[in-house]
Amino acid sequence: MLLIHSISEISNLSLRKVSNYIPAGFPSPAENYIENAIDLNKELVSNRDSTFFIKVSGESMRDAEIYDGDVLVVDRSIKPKHGDIAICRLNGDFTVKKLHLQEKEIKLYPENSDFSPIEITAFDEFIVWGIVTYTIHKIT
């Protein structure tokens, strides 16, 4: 089950900002890097009216580092292309999968070998609902 939230439901996504970049090598004091706030709307959202947050349930995309409980940032204004990770509506249900688009063939690929690809046929009700632009997940 995917839970969908409009970006407009979340009006303030500002956090304190610690520099533009943090060195991944030699450590340095963080207080030297504190700047203004970082606005997650500006960082994660290109098209506010067409962007949604979706919470993932399940393990079919774990090899793409999309895990159960992750939050996906999804933009509905992006035209789908081969290889995109997309939120699709298939026969009334939502799913997140990698798009395989070639000529007249459409397949949805999981990123977990425990699951099989889904071939879309003329009998299926199918739309690409939006394209995943970011994944937000907790570390451990």
Question: Is position 60 annotated as part of the catalytic site?
Answer: yes
Question: Is position 104 annotated as part of the catalytic site?
Answer: no
Could you count the other beta carbons within 10 Å of the beta carbon of residue 125? 10
Catalytic residue among 17, 60, 107, 138: 60
Residue 41 one-letter amino acid: N
> Please, are residues 11 and 5 in contact by the beta-carbon 8 Å criterion?
no
Q: What is the C-alpha to C-alpha distance for residues 138 and 69, in angstroms, rounded to an integer?
A: 9
Could you count the other beta carbons within 10 Å of the beta carbon of residue 47? 12
Catalytic residue among 97, 98, 104, 113: 97
Catalytic residues: 60, 97
